[in-house]
Each structure stands twice: as structure tokens, then as C-alpha cells.
Amino acid sequence: KAGVTQTPRYLIKTRGQQVTLSCSPISGHRSVSWYQQTPGQGLQFLFEYFSETQRNKGNFPGRFSGRQFSNSRSEMNVSTLELGDSALYLCASSLGRRSSYEQYFGPGTRLTVT
């Protein structure tokens, strides 16, 4: 079974631009979560989607948004990029929303904002 895939793997953008990141979960997984990882800050929760609905949202500004499609694929968008948005963005999928389900992470998208 194929793992979680994320595209693109690397991205360089300029301040003020916007970016869209894509995540394809493991086949059969219906829940997708997004995390921002920066040195020293660990994995900060962005949002969680299940059945095309956002179920939870982390403490990030409204510039960060996302969506999930009917095939469970998910995208996240960051508008008006700031230097501090440079990070590794990780997507994780799981079977469902039960807390007992483990998360399978993708390789991440490394975003650099200059």
C-alpha cells in the first residue's frame, strides 16, 4: 500500500506570495491532519479534516487554510507569506477520527520564504 504523498517536496516563495500544498493520504484513510514543524517548536497542529469537513483547527492565523476533497486528498493554503512561515509542513493520515488510530506521516513539504 502506498504511503502518504506530499507535493511539492520543496518550495521557495517570496514574502507576500501565496502557496498551496497537497497531500494524498493512504488509500482508505479518511482523516488528514496538517502540522507545521520548525526547529525548537516541534510539531504544531494546524488543522484536521475528516469527510471533507474541518474538525479541528490549531492556533494559527486565518492566512492558513485548508480543505479536503471527496477522495480524501487534502490541500493547505498559506496566503500573504511571511518569513516566519518557513518550515516543514507535514501531512498525516489516519483511518478515522478515533483517538486510537495512529497517524501516518508524509515526507513533508519544505517551504522557504525569502
Residues that bind other proteins (CB under 8 A): 33, 35, 40-45, 48, 55-56, 58-59, 90, 92, 99-100, 102-108
Tell me whether residue 14 or residue 41 sits nearer to other proteins (CB atom). 41
In whole angstroms, the minimum distance from the beta carbon of 18 to other proteins comes to 25
In whole angstroms, the minimum distance from the beta carbon of 97 to other proteins comes to 9
Is 91 in contact with 106 (CB distance < 8 Å)? yes
Work out whether strand 53-57 and strand 42-50 pair parallel, antiparallel, or are unpaired.
Answer: antiparallel
Half-sphere exposure of 12 (CA within 13 A, CB side): 1
Tell me whether residue 42 or residue 84 sits nearer to other proteins (CB atom). 42
